[in-house]
Amino acid sequence: MIVVMKRGVSEQAIQRIAQRVEQLGLKAHIIYGTERTVIAAVGDKRNHERETLESFEEVEKVVPILAPYKVASKETKPEPTIIKVLDLVLGGGNVGVIAGPCSVESEQQILESAHKVKAAGAKGLRGGAFKPRTSPYAFQGMKEEGLKLLAAAREATGLAIVTEVMTPHHVELVAKYADILQIGARNMQNYHLLQAVGEIRKPVLLKRGPSATMEEFLLAAEYILDQGNQEVILCERGIRTFETHTRFTLPLATVPYLRERTHLPIVVDPSHGTGIASLVAPMCAASVAAGADGLIVEVHPDPQKAVSDGAQSLTPDAFVFAMEQSRKVAHALGMTM
């Protein structure tokens, strides 16, 4: 950490802060500048003491130097983590695709979805059984019945099942049926839930919260990793900005940025990221070009009858087109898909 002192503070104050730095188990280097004095606090403390030092009246600000996450960091594990479940492979130069409806609605709907997305090249099936909905009056999902239908769809197609878990006491139940547990954007900082999925041994797809910084996102992954579950998939799904022409703003520079810092695979969700079906195909292709390890896409056999997210769901035909475009880009850049 770098502790920046306020202008004109006394030597006594400087020494007092330096002493405090040393008490925290760090080494203090005082640098007297022309207008400001700064104290470099050296040692591997990952900034936990930042707030303490910022509370001193004579301190202007404290600048962290080290990233606060460790296990998620490429510095800890330089080689990429590749996640394989059934035929779905995320990472290591392969683009894996997960597709399916927003919600599981019926046996016919989920089976038809599964067959259609498989035919187009998807290796994973998404579908919500427990649905977080902004309004308490909206459809909340088919719950365990939905999980069973997902498992049946896996039986029928061999697709890996990705579905959301919303609360710690459902983790065991969802893990019984699903291949990959999804943590939704609203729950990215639901720490008890992160710890609960950290305790199981199935991959977790962690969606970025709509106002999460890169540090907060990687620290959420760290909560899961810290419990011993090493299979975390990071999912960029758009952030909340002043833009209203799309549902969220999809910031694809996240993909190469994270790539430089973490070994975890990175997946993009252009359906939530835009909220508009006609924008999904170009953003799938763009995600692959940006270096994504996978895509997660909403596809519904009949979007106009979808109980949720109809506006952003692709028809099976539109999904075929999105896959073709993305595959062209992947192959052109030397990736398999």
Q: Based on the number of CB atoms within 10 Å of its own CB, is 282 exposed (0-12), middle (13-18) or buried (19 or more)?
A: middle
136 makes contact with a second copy (CB under 8 A):
yes
Tokens linked to 20: 């405090």
Whole-number Å distance between alpha carbons of 98 and 281: 14
Q: Is the dihedral of CA 14, 17, 19, 21 positive or negative?
A: negative
Tell me how far, at minimum, the Cβ of 50 lies from a second copy, in Å. 8
Q: Phi, psi (5° rounding) for residue 129?
A: -105, -40
Which string of x and - marks every residue 285-304 that binds a second copy (by CB under 8 A)?
xxxxxxx-----------xx
The single residue listed with the structure tokens 């050296």 is 42
321 makes contact with a second copy (CB under 8 A):
no
Among 167, 199, 230, 321, binds a second copy (CB under 8 A): 167
Site for a second copy in 227-246 (CB under 8 A): 239-246
Tell me how far, at minimum, the Cβ of 150 lies from a second copy, in Å. 20
Which CB atom, from 159 or from 295, has the smaller least distance to a second copy? 295
The single residue listed with the structure tokens 């259609």 is 116
Which residues, listed in sequence order, are joined to residue 233 by a DSSP beta bridge? 205
Site for a second copy in 244-263 (CB under 8 A): 244-246, 249-253, 255-257, 260
Name the one range near a second copy by CB under 8 A: 84-92, 120-128, 154-162, 206-214.
Answer: 206-214
Angle between the 214-225 and 254-261 helix axes, to the nearest 10 degrees?
A: 50
Phi-psi region of 141 (alpha: psi -120 to 50; beta: other; left: phi over 0): left
Which CB atom, from 230 or from 325, has the smaller least distance to a second copy? 325
Whole-number Å distance between alpha carbons of 199 and 231: 11
Site for a second copy in 26-85 (CB under 8 A): 29, 31-36, 38, 40, 42-44, 46, 48, 51-52, 54-56, 63, 65-66, 68-69, 75
Tell me how far, at minimum, the Cβ of 291 lies from a second copy, in Å. 5
Which CB atom, from 38 or from 205, has the smaller least distance to a second copy? 38
Which CB atom, from 159 or from 238, has the smaller least distance to a second copy? 238
Q: How many residues bind a second copy (CB under 8 A)?
A: 106
- CA angle 138–251–282, rounded 5-degree value: 80
